[in-house]
Every structure is written in C-alpha cells, then in structure tokens.
Amino acid sequence: MEPYIRMNTEFRKEAKSDFETNFYKLMNNSVFGNTMENLRNRVDVKIVQSWETEKIQKLVASPSYARHEIFRNDMGGVHMYKM
C-alpha cells in the first residue's frame, strides 16, 4: 500500500487544478482508511425463519457463531463473525 501513497502524493504535488489536488487527497485517505479498518468488527447476520432446528444447530455449532437475537416468534437472526 505504501507505494500507492507515495505515488498519489507526488501526483498531488504536480496537480494543476483544485479538482486534481482534492482527488489525490481522497485517494490517499481511502488507502489509509482501508489499512486502518478493523475487520474483526464485521459480522454476518443469517436470518432464520420458523426456527428450522437443523439449520440453527449448524449455525450455532460453527466456530464463527457470535450470538443470536429473536425478532418475532417465528423469526430470528444469528450473528456470525467473518472468517
């Protein structure tokens, strides 16, 4: 990622308009933001209807299981960590 930052920084120095300057600034910020993003905070939510026991047992037994939440009597969500 670092070579892209240097390259965009050089392009930003050589920019001839405000648009180009702002464009390369945003490019640098997006690269930095993606490197600082915490992937552990991402979750998948599997919606389960009518509580099919086989499907729920499979999801709960998975190592990526985080927690579950009941929305209604016949619908719930199972939070899964990203693998």
User: How confident is the model over 33-61, as pLDDT tens digits?
Assistant: 767 777 777 778 888 887 667 888 888 89
pLDDT of residue 41: 74
Bridge partners (DSSP) of residue 67 are 79
- What's the residue count for the chain? 83
Q: Exposure string (b/e) for 39-56, b if CB count within 10 Å is 16 or more?
A: eeeeeeeeebeeeeeeee
Name the pTM for this structure: 0.49
What average pLDDT does this structure show over 64-69? 89
pLDDT of residue 52: 67
Q: What is the CA radius of gyration of the chain?
A: 22
Do 77 and 69 meet the contact criterion of CB atoms below 8 Å apart? yes
